[in-house]
């Protein structure tokens, strides 16, 4: 069993390259996420109209819940589609 | 009775004439008034394209109303919406303090946008 010392990986393992993500809502001091302007919410959903997960957008749990609620309300009043193809 | 601030957005079916849409809006405003509600702000988004067809229609007439009312007013108000087939979708939300603050801010932005000379169609005032 080759000991670990001279084991060389094919490509360098990414340890610290994960950029430090921040919650843009907390940075900018958002107090309320409005469900009425779709063009802001468009940034938070992907091409199929699904809500982007926190690990991609980096938002904190508190604001992710508000975003989720706002997007579902916007979908209810047909400002955002439930499912779409290449929304951008 | 606790008195809260509410905000209602509703979509009127596009097949109505301009006259009929006006009296749908008037009907709900009067309904609120004689229930003792105070309408603080209204917005007419006009005819907009829906993100998905509702009842086989792809456009709808949006109207936003912000009002202050007793909590007991909301249930009959919403059953009236359900009964009325001219309104195809409605959403009433209670406004918490952040929402109220945001709405006030939005109203100033809205008014200074309206001050600009309006090139859009005289009747409907588009939001964006």
pLDDT tens track for B66-81: 999 998 999 999 999 9
Let me know: does A41 contact A87? Beta carbons within 8 Å: no
Q: What is the pLDDT of residues B33-90, one digit of tens each?
A: 999 899 999 999 889 999 999 999 999 999 999 999 998 999 999 999 999 999 999 9
- Nearest Cα of chain B lies from the Cα of A27 at a distance, in angstroms, of 17
pTM of the model: 0.77
Tens digit of pLDDT at every position of chain A (88 positions)? 556 667 777 776 666 655 667 777 777 788 888 999 888 888 889 889 899 999 888 888 999 999 999 999 999 999 999 988 876 5
The backbone region for A69, taken as left when phi is positive above 0, alpha when psi lies in -120 to 50, beta otherwise, is alpha
Q: State whether residue B91 sits within 8 Å of chain A by CB.
A: yes
Q: How far apart (Å, rounded) are the C-alpha atoms in residues A79 and B52?
A: 9
Q: Out of B9, B101, B106, whose CB is closest to A77? A: B9
Chain B residues in contact with A85 (beta carbon < 8 A): none
Burial class of residue B109 in the structure, from the number of CB atoms within 10 Å of its CB (0-12 exposed, 13-18 middle, 19+ buried): exposed
- Quote ipTM for the complex: 0.78
Q: How far apart (Å, rounded) are the C-alpha atoms in residues A87 and A80?
A: 10
Q: Out of B60, B102, B128, whose CB is closest to A78? A: B60
């Amino acid at each position: 069993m080759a000991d670990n010392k001279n084991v060389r990986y094919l490509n360098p393992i990414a340890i610290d390259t994960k950029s430090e993500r921040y919650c843009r809502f907390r940075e900018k001091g958002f107090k309320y996420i409005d469900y009425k302007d779709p063009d802001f919410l468009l940034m938070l959903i992907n091409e199929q109209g699904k809500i982007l997960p926190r690990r991609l957008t980096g938002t904190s749990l508190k604001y992710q819940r508000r975003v989720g609620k706002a997007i579902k309300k916007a979908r209810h009043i047909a400002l955002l589609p439930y499912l779409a193809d290449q929304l951008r | 009775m606790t008195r809260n601030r509410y905000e209602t957005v509703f979509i009127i079916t596009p097949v109505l004439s301009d006259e009929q849409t006006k009296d749908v809006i008037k009907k709900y405003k009067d309904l609120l008034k004689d229930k003792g509600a105070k309408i603080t702000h209204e917005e007419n988004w006009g005819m907009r394209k829906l993100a998905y067809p509702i009842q086989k229609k792809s456009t709808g007439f949006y109207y936003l109303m912000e009002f202050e009312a007793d909590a007991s007013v909301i249930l009959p108000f919403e059953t009236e919406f359900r009964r009325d087939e001219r309104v195809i979708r409605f959403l009433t939300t209670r406004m918490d303090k952040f929402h109220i603050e945001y709405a006030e801010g939005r109203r100033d932005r809205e008014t200074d946008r309206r001050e600009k000379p309006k090139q859009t169609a005289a009747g409907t005032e588009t939001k964006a």
